[in-house]
Amino acid sequence: MSILKVSKLVKRFGGLLATDDVSLTVEEGEIHALIGPNGAGKSTLINQLCGELRPDAGRILLGGRDITALSVPARVDLGLGRTFQVTSLLDDATCRENIAMAVQAREGLNFRIWDAVAGRARLWDQADAMLAGTPLAARSGTPVNDLSHGERKQLELLVALARKPRILLLDEPMAGLGHVESQEMIERLREIGAQTPMLLVEHDMEAVFALATRISVLVYGRIIASGSVAEIRENADVREAYLGAEDELC
């Protein structure tokens, strides 16, 4: 059974058809990359999957359950995890506190972390276990405001994983990263992908080709191709969609 199934999703903004009868699946054990030129409708699609936008038609199934009409929190509770192109973290809190907050939310506990968490060693233990062995292990007590862009990206990923999602929706995890940071992120995502399926929205084609089990190409709101890395590399429609930028697909 597909962990995520999108069927004939349609979203209109006035006369603009932002998602045009979009269907795709993400299977267990899969990193499914979604690519496309700027303005293709990728963000609109992801926002519908997360519940921030309501589709005009179509269905979204998570683990076989119809979540099309559910709220963002309800989808998170059912196992839909997300990271953002621009990181969304508690800037004044430390790395450890951000992760502990996510663990606390997952377990349905009081959100007043500053009042309640001090006596709950279990939450801190789980946060420390998630940080162990990562590039942020030595930055546990560092406020988010003092982290580099790459470190913030790494932390946001850990915060998403702290909710133990059934699937991760990753919105351009490579955005703004230098070469070394990008390579570190690729390795980290490869490790995570072995345990948690992903829908990866990304412009960095090196990362896409290194990570993806399957690729779907979105152009003007419509999926024009879906297949393996090799199939997408050789697809004439995909090359045309990228305006002949063959080097980008090599």
* Beta strands, E only, the chain: 4-13, 16-26, 31-35, 57-62, 65-66, 80-83, 167-171, 198-201, 214-219, 222-227
Residue count of the chain, please give it: 250
Average pLDDT over residues 47-71: 96
From the centroid of its chain, how far is CA 2? Answer: 17
pLDDT of residue 116: 53
pLDDT of residue 242: 73
pLDDT of residue 91: 84
Domain extents in the chain: 1-79+167-250, 83-164
Give the Cα separation of 180 and 250 in Å (integer).
21
pLDDT of residue 134: 86
Domains 1-79+167-250 and 83-164 share a fold: yes
Percent pLDDT > 90 in the chain is: 56
| CATH 3.40.50.300 assigned to 1-79+167-250 | yes
Q: Supply the DSSP symbol for 7.
A: E
Average pLDDT over residues 206-218: 95
pLDDT of residue 121: 75
Average pLDDT over residues 128-152: 90
Per residue in 78-122, pLDDT tens?
Answer: 999 988 655 568 888 999 999 988 888 777 655 455 555 454 777
- Could you tell me which residue, 123 or 27, shows the higher pLDDT? 27
Average pLDDT over residues 27-41: 93
For residue 100, the surrounding DSSP H or E stretch is helix 95-106
| CATH 3.40.50.300 assigned to 83-164 | yes
pLDDT of residue 112: 54
Which amino acid, one-letter code, is at 186? I
Would you place residue 12 in the very low, low, confident or very high pLDDT band (cuts 50, 70, 90)? very high
Would you place residue 163 in the very low, low, confident or very high pLDDT band (cuts 50, 70, 90)? confident
Query: Is the per-residue pLDDT at 146 higher than 60?
Result: yes
Mean pLDDT of the chain: 88
